[in-house]
Structure 1
């Protein structure tokens, strides 16, 4: 069967990874798959390539005054819509509510008479959503010229309305966490049209590594308590660094190994000496290297502040951490803590710096269990949260609810 998948991110960013994994799983079952994302380096033209046996289109990102990944690029939307109208498909699967996902999806359904699945995996709108809590107050946004800020805020307001309305006519809605399932139902989507579908673990790409070798490669002390942390943006920086500062007061030899961009304001919590001695910041790490870096950590941190945005998502790092085979310390926000507790693969604190610091300290006290907990985390990556298992869950729902058999 022919399947069309639509994602608003650039290649290698955000929800692209979720769309990519489902594209791979569909292709492995013998289907003809096309995945569309946004080109990071092409403003006016699209690029076509072959990725893991399926077709990948990177569409033009030209969108004056907007981030290319916001999904409002006119050439992007036009190209995808034209492709959706030009060729019949048997299923269209769009990721998030952006115009370059929803408009082409509806066009493809109109052209082909096929089912449409819409995926909801982030909480964008509202006072505690991504836009108003993180993007607009951010220093990068506030540094933009006033006219650009006004233009983007106008887009954000319309985007917030689209988030709740645009996907309601989909034949099936996949949601990444329980909070979004509840929100979809409150907006009028029937429960039998909602499928809870978290993201999985890249167990094939990330393998548990030897801790001593990984530390030697990074010039980390062999006997230190090393905490691993990975993020594309430090949305919970104050929670994390507040906890780390408290931990350093009691255990000054602890090291925070950071994969991702620089912190915005580490000086709020850490002294210059602590930042130099106790934080090892590697910057963004290419995906093929993530496993070898995470192997250097004793435990991996997933701090989540208590806000709607965090309750309404499933961070990609969960799967990476599980695949790396290390215990996890997190906070009691969203769906991830239940996974950690249910499988006994780490420690859960409350979403305060004091409680998170206590949970990390408990992890140190329980260090004799690290190896067993890490093995159990890896088992979760290979079973319940394998992409194969999640694809089977989706394919079963498509068969039962939409009458389309994608199992072969």
Structure 2
């Protein structure tokens, strides 16, 4: 029996943002009898389409005329190249990730012209009230706000099914008129093959830290307001104990050192190879999610939460969005009010309590291999894909 062919589209540059979500799901589905193509955006190519296989998933990198961070789903050339490439291709189902033009236009075309079932994923609140409000340039914010909102909302009620990352976005979808039976909650998952916990003492030594260092870890990008909240909290912690340091892992859009009273106590590891992430997280004593109570934070579920869980790293987070549910329900850390002093106090107490750290860590490692593993998350899509394909063929 031939495999059902699935097309996934993401606007992100390869290995950035929601591409990771699509790729993890694709790997699981490939192992369960589907043939998956992911169309994403090339990091640098402006004219050439690049195709290759990664973990049996076919990756198609589309060219884009814009540069750097502007390669974010708006380029007409990228959109047209996707349309032209897809004209003679056959798929049984389309699954889009977010809804900027390079994703939405080709998927609607195939949905309407070729009558292919269309599922839309929703993993971020980009439009009015959401991450658009985190932009520092008020003119870009004013211009993009209605455009982001339009593309984010316009087609939600017209697709066959919606996979949504968190409950606040489900509530928003229902208010837009999406029928409840066309929605499934689909969180991120844990990749325990990629992120492995190793001995903390060995990890600290490998990266030049001493046993006395108490390390707070943060992974990836951060909003401006969250960065300022984090630095203020860290400065208070470092004043309490000079052995407390902050380790920033991966790309961070702000220079947190320049905001801190103690720049030498903030370590940045942004030029890392894949194998380093698990080792760097294993250095840490606590993983940080310093989230302000903004709609942008409420309307998402950070992948770094699941990176911490995969590494067995106890978490201190503010009580924002769905994050606190995972922390409290699985007993993997502490969720505090969005209050600087409470955030500092809970972080400090956890840093000084290795027994509680071990309890949280053991709980994380258990759920990372079981109910929150990408394997289990991805399997939720199988009955949805099968029913939509069957319905289209009736």
Shorter-chain TM-score range: over 0.9
Unpaired segments ≥5 residues, structure 1? 138-148
Aligned to 2:236: 246
Pick the aligned partner of 1:201 from 190, 212, 217.
190
Unpaired segments ≥5 residues, structure 2? none
* TM-score normalised according to structure 2 size: 0.92
Aligned to 1:226: 215
* TM-score normalised according to structure 1 size: 0.89
- Is the 8 Å Cα contact of residues 92 and 389 (structure 2) preserved in structure 1? no
Instruction: Confirm or deny that 1:167 pairs with 2:156.
Output: yes
Aligned to 1:146: none
Pick the aligned partner of 1:125 from 122, 127, 130.
127
Pick the aligned partner of 1:212 from 188, 194, 201.
201
Task: From the superposition, tell whether residues 95 and 135 of structure 1 become closer, same or farther in structure 2 (CA, over 3 Å).
Answer: farther
Q: Distance in 2 between matches of 1:110 and 1:257?
A: 48
Task: From the superposition, tell whether residues 404 and 366 of structure 1 become closer, same or farther in structure 2 (CA, over 3 Å).
Answer: farther
Aligned to 1:54: 57
Aligned to 1:309: 296
Residue 159 of structure 1 deviates from its aligned partner by 2.4
Aligned to 2:347: 360
* Number of equivalences: 387
Pick the aligned partner of 2:39 from 36, 40, 50.
36
Task: From the superposition, tell whether residues 105 and 154 of structure 1 become closer, same or farther in structure 2 (CA, over 3 Å).
Answer: same
- Is the 8 Å Cα contact of residues 305 and 352 (structure 1) preserved in structure 2? no
- Is the 8 Å Cα contact of residues 134 and 223 (structure 2) preserved in structure 1? no
Q: Distance in 2 between matches of 1:229 and 1:265?
A: 12
Q: Distance in 2 between matches of 1:70 and 1:281?
A: 25
Task: From the superposition, tell whether residues 314 and 248 of structure 1 become closer, same or farther in structure 2 (CA, over 3 Å).
Answer: same
**1:183-194 to 2 correspondence within 5 Å?**
183-194=172-183
- Is the 8 Å Cα contact of residues 97 and 167 (structure 1) preserved in structure 2? no
Instruction: Confirm or deny that 1:177 pairs with 2:166.
Output: yes
Aligned to 1:142: none
Instruction: Confirm or deny that 1:92 pairs with 2:94.
Output: yes
The SS at the match of 1:21 is: helix
- Is the 8 Å Cα contact of residues 21 and 387 (structure 1) preserved in structure 2? yes
**1:142-161 to 2 correspondence within 5 Å?**
154-161=143-150
Residue 240 of structure 1 deviates from its aligned partner by 0.9
Residue 221 of structure 1 deviates from its aligned partner by 1.4
